[in-house]
Amino acid sequence: MGGSPFVPRLTTVASALIYLFVVLAVAAVVFLLATVVFGRGEQLEPLPQEKTPTRLPAAEIEGADVRALKFQQVFRGYKASEVDWALDRIAGELDELRGRIAVLERQLEAAGQALDQARDEGPEHHPEE
């Protein structure tokens, strides 16, 4: 008869090798694309759990403190708990400062009214010549 028993087997092996090569090529492209998009990993070792680079002073937060804030980066941005903590601290500080300003404004207004009243009620003192 006519055909060699090895020919169908050779095409099956060749097809499997081509398939394997294509799968490896696609995996390499996906890996390289992921490396470009997401980076090759962190340059510094990750911080231990419950440690954070986020620092704020205990009281009297200043603009420079807010500008210097650093948040731990996670897969999709910053660690939400750290950002929430910092924003809560800043909001509390602002509320306290606004309260102090309101008290001082009331005290200033009362002192101004007392001064006006003292001027109005006080005897006009004209030295006689």
> What is the tens place of the pLDDT at every residue in 7-33?
677 788 888 899 999 999 999 999 988
**pTM for the complete prediction?**
0.42
| Backbone phi, psi, residue 109, to 5° | -65, -45
Pull the structure tokens for residue 50.
Answer: 């419950």
Question: Which residue in 72, 77, 70, 69 sits closest to 38, CA to CA?
Answer: 77
List the helix and strand counts (H, then E) for the chain: 3, 2
pLDDT for 13: 82
> What is the tens place of the pLDDT at every residue in 85-103?
888 888 888 888 888 999 9
Q: In angstroms, how far is CA 100 from the centroid of its own chain? A: 29
Cα 73 from Cα 52, distance rounded (Å): 10
Residue ranges per structural domain of the chain: 8-40, 50-121
| Burial category of 71 from C-beta neighbours within 10 Å (exposed 0-12, middle 13-18, buried 19 and up) | middle
